[in-house]
Every structure is written in structure tokens, then in C-alpha cells.
Amino acid sequence: MENKQLMIEYTEYDSLQELPETDRRLMEAAMEATESAYAPYSHFHVGAAVRLADGTIVRGSNQENIAYPSGLCAERTALFGASAQYPQLAVEALAVVGFHEGAFTEASPCGACRQVMSEYELRYGNEITLFCYLSGGRIRKICGVKRLLPFTFEAKL
Ligand code: THU
């Protein structure tokens, strides 16, 4: 028997201004995407933006439904939209941000969205970099789904 530990490495930036321009633009696209959220039930607006291998940015926002489970998170809206429109382009990065009571706020992908990120890493054979907006305007960067969803399901089908 052996007890083991897992360390998760990530980076935090003090503000959007500290990010390289391409990454700052991705987070700004996610911030703009909060405006298209349809969240009449939770009133919590989420914006996401996916950057593809050629630099194309695809936006997504949460889309709620009166039958609650039929709604979808911003991250999956963006990832599925990107894959449906540009199936030949790998997903390089994803940015996510919340908007609530008039201000941008923290958001981090739920388990189901992490699983979908994992699928696109498998599909395209590259790690996806995630940028999360944190309270106070800090930005967290995490490289690769192995740091978000350790011991991911794998199957040899
Ligand atoms: N939501 C997202 O869009 N992304 C997340 O990372 C977590 C939650 C949405 C789902 C729902 O529309 C609202 O936020 C409140 O949970």
C-alpha cells in the first residue's frame, strides 16, 4: 500500500493586462459573449471563447431552459459550436468568465465541460489551455485537461 499525492501546476496573472495579446483577446471575447447568455432562471451569465489552431475565435454563452437539464453551459456551447463549424481545426485554448449583478465574476468549467474538453484533446492530440476569470480581475491559466480532470476515463474501443 502506498499513499500518493497529486500536484496541480497553474499560473495566476494579476490582471488581463498581464496576458500576452492573443490570450487577452480570447478572454475579452469571452467577456463579450456574456452579453448573449440566456439565463432567465439563474441570472448568472457565463461567456466562453474557444481559440482554434488557425487563430479563429468561437464564442459561446450559457443557454438555459425551463426544463432545467436541457440547458447548456457556455463552455460546451462554444466547444460544440467550434467543432460543428470548424471540425478540421484543433482546439487550442478556452476562456471562461461569469457576469452577475453588473460585474464580471469568477467562473470555472463544471465536470461535464471538463469531460468535453478531454474529448477534444483526444480528438486533436494536443493539450487545451484554459483561462478562468477570477474575482478581482485575476486570471488563472491551466494547461491541459490532465490538470483539471485527473484519472480521466480512457477506453480502448
Ligand atoms: N454555467 C456555465 O455556463 N458554465 C460553468 O462553468 C458553470 C455554470 C451556467 C449553467 C447555468 O446556466 C448557470 O451557469 C448557473 O449555474
Structural domain boundaries of the chain?
23-147
* CATH fourth-level superfamily of 23-147: Cytidine Deaminase, domain 2 (3.40.140.10)
Query: Please, which pLDDT band fits residue 113 given cuts at 50, 70 and 90?
Result: very high
What is the C-alpha separation between 43 and 126, in angstroms, rounded? 34
Separation CA 61–CA 82 (nearest Å):
13
| pTM summary value | 0.96
Q: How confident is the model at residue 121, as a pLDDT?
A: 97
Could you read off the pLDDT of 5-14 as tens digits, one per residue? Answer: 999 999 999 9
pLDDT in tens, 39-98: 999 999 999 999 999 999 999 999 999 999 999 999 999 999 999 999 999 999 999 999
Question: Is residue 155's pLDDT more than 90?
Answer: no
Nearest residue (by CA) to ligand 1, atom 1, is 73
Cα distances (angstroms) measured from residue 86 to each of 28, 52, 82, 106, 138: 21, 8, 6, 28, 31
Q: Which of 108, 110, 115, 131 to mutate to test the pocket of ligand 1 (most atoms within 8 A of CB)?
A: 110
Q: Is residue 157's pLDDT more than 90? A: no
CA 75 to CA 38: how far, in whole Å? 14
- What span, in angstroms and rounded, lies between the C-alpha atoms of 115 and 122? 11
- Cα distance between residue 14 and residue 18, in whole Å: 7
60 lines ligand 1 (CB under 6 A): no
Confidence of residue 156 (pLDDT cuts 50, 70, 90): confident
Average pLDDT (100-117) is: 98
Q: Is the beta carbon of 112 within 6 A of some atom in ligand 1?
A: no
- 75 classed as catalytic: yes
In terms of Cβ atoms closer than 10 Å to its own Cβ (0-12, 13-18, 19+), residue 96 is: buried
- What average pLDDT is seen over the chain? 97
